[in-house]
Amino acid sequence: MIIYLVALALIVAGASTGLFTLLHSRVLRGSLRLYDAKGYWVVCMLMLTFLVASLAYFWGVTRFALSPGDGLEPETVIGMLVTVFGCIAGLGVGLVRFSRVRMPGGTTGSEGL
């Protein structure tokens, strides 16, 4: 079960980092406004939560369920909760880091707020 939880946490952390890096680089290049990047970040994290929680459910049911009619195993629920809490933490960290972005001209780039 430890491998299951660590793998889910690594998937969430890796995908969150990759998405944040992509949006952050576009903000710094000027092809995306900071206000829009924050909105895209929220949408990306919602989609990531759904996708990885679905993966956690499928992987948990196929790995831990003794028979298909048993219902949810506690391991599956714990894996889904790790995924959801990881995505919530990633959302918060990303929004805080976006609020600290400094544009090359020295401005925060927070026009439109």
- pLDDT tens string, the chain, 113 residues long: the values are 899 999 999 999 999 999 999 999 999 998 999 999 999 999 999 999 999 999 999 888 888 776 666 667 888 889 999 999 999 999 999 999 998 877 666 555 555 44
DSSP H helical ranges for 1-113: 2-29, 34-64, 74-99
Of 96, 72, 22, 13, the closest CA to residue 48 belongs to 13
